Structure 1
């Protein structure tokens, strides 16, 4: 079991946020990224929304980054930790731009990019950006194929309803071959089928932990499953967030779990097929206390579950 580093103040969800996180600034996050790198955490993942309608602010909060520039910054501030998205909204950005951004980060970071794509769920965000919400699945299907073609094709060509290109060149290619790890986030059957076709990782959000094995079996049972699923990420706080970012109660994932409780739950996750997780941010007062806590996790929990 690998552990991702839960970076405070990448978002402010009502279900998981704590008051002290709102005071965290970019300089603090830079310091924490370097700290996570030094302690041996596996990954930092960046949530993404481009714009949030006022009707969703109570649950979702107003504070989100754009995934790719934030991943690039964190990669540049560190040496070995991987950078990921959680999630990048695939249909809201042209796939050529997406492919170029991620290839650039991977090249500059010597191959430390993973990307978790999602199709999106916030209709008002799509409406604001002029992307047809009810076509987001079909758009995503084309876009991921186009991105992979740009990353891997010596002479990339693609012809689709939403994107087409030919007689083009695309460099730099990603350092990682055949391309950076692609994960998909979500729980619906179309998402799981997309994992089977294209991905090496799955990041569930609304799936209960005990249902993960059945979902993994569904992915592997698809006729076009490529055999590439190697990672499943399930963080402690995942079960505290419901549809539309509603608050769900799960005492097994609360802040303030003991070391033994965390180790036991990570062991259970591993039995279910989870390969990577992150422990809950405890009830603290400031960044210095969080640095101490993440050191404790790295020194006393990480070696036990590795």
Structure 2
């Protein structure tokens, strides 16, 4: 099982955030990322939204980073930990520009970048950026194909409805081959089919943990899946947040479980096909207590997880 380090103040989601997290600065995050790197955490993942419509502020909060910029910065501040997103909203970004940004960061970090793409769900955000919300799935599929073409072809060429290019050069290519890992976030059948065709991982959000094995089987039954190694992400606290960022009570995902409870739940998730998870932080009073708990997780819990 790989462990994600849940870096605080990547967002201020009322369903999950503690009040003190709003005071965490970029400098604090940099120090915490270096601790996670030194302790042996496998990954830091960065959420993304560009704008939040005011009618969603109560549930979603206003604070989100641009995922690729934050990933690149954190890669430069660390030595070995991998940098992912959760998620990068693909239809809201030009695929050539995004492909260049991710390839640049992978090149500069020596191959530590990953990306989790999603189609987005917040219509007002699409409206603000002038992107047709109802076409976001088709846009994402086309952008994904174009990005892979740019990353893997010596003479990239693409002719689509939303993006076209020909007779161009594109370098640097990602250090990782054939390209940096692409994961897909989302729970709808369309997202899972996208994962089967393009991805080496799936990040579940609304899927109940007892349904994960069934959904992984769905992915692997698709024509686009070729038997490649495939990661599945489900954090222990994931289902505390429902659709639209509504808080949900989930007795199986409460923060502050005992060591034995955490180990049992992580091992059970592993049996469902989960390969990457995160342990929710219980109520603490600030950065130092947060780091103490995170260090306890990696030193005491991880060795007991299969």
| SS of residue in 2 equivalent to 1:236 | coil
Deviates more, 1:107-116 or 1:249-258: 249-258
**Aligned match of 2:83:** 83
Alignment of 1:1-306 (within 5 A): 1-305=1-305
Deviates more, 1:259-268 or 1:78-87: 259-268
| C-alpha distance in 2 between matches for 1:142 and 1:255 | 39
Give the SS at the match of 2:184: strand
Please report how far the alpha carbon of residue 238 of structure 1 lies from its aligned counterpart in structure 2 after TM superposition.
0.8
User: Deviations along 1:99-119, whole A, 9 cap, x unmatched?
Assistant: 001000100000001100000
Q: TM-score normalized by structure 1?
A: 0.99
**After superposition, what is the alpha-carbon deviation per residue over 1:169-217, rounded to whole angstroms, capped at 9, x for unaligned?**
0000000000001000000001000001000000010000000011011
Root mean square deviation of aligned Cα: 0.8
Structure 2 length as normaliser, TM-score?
A: 0.99
What is the rounded CA distance, in whole Å, between the counterparts of 1:22 and 1:256 in structure 2? 21
Q: How far off is 1:224 after superposition?
A: 2.3
CA-CA distance at 1:89 after TM superposition: 0.2
- Decide whether the 8 Å contact of 1:199 with 1:228 is kept in 2: no
Report how far residue 228 of structure 1 moved.
2.5
Whole-Å Cα distance in 1 between the matches of residues 10 and 98 of structure 2? 20
Q: Distance in 2 between matches of 1:289 and 1:35?
A: 13
Comparing 12-21 with 187-196, which one deviates more in the overlay?
Answer: 12-21
Distance 1:258 1:103 in 2: 41
User: 1:219 & 1:99 partners in 2: Cα distance?
Assistant: 25
Whole-angstrom CA distance in 1 between matches of 2:224 and 2:148? 17
Distance 1:50 1:151 in 2: 25
Q: What whole-Å deviation, never above 9, does each CA across 1:224-264 have from its counterpart, x for those lacking one?
A: 22223520010112110100001110122111111111111
Map Cα deviations across residues 76-130 of structure 1 (whole Å, 9 max, x no partner).
Answer: 0000000000000000000001100100010000000110000000000000000
Give unpaired runs (5+ residues) of structure 2. none
Is the CA contact (8 Å cut-off) linking 1:196 and 1:227 kept in structure 2?
Answer: no
Structure 1 unmatched runs, 5+:
none
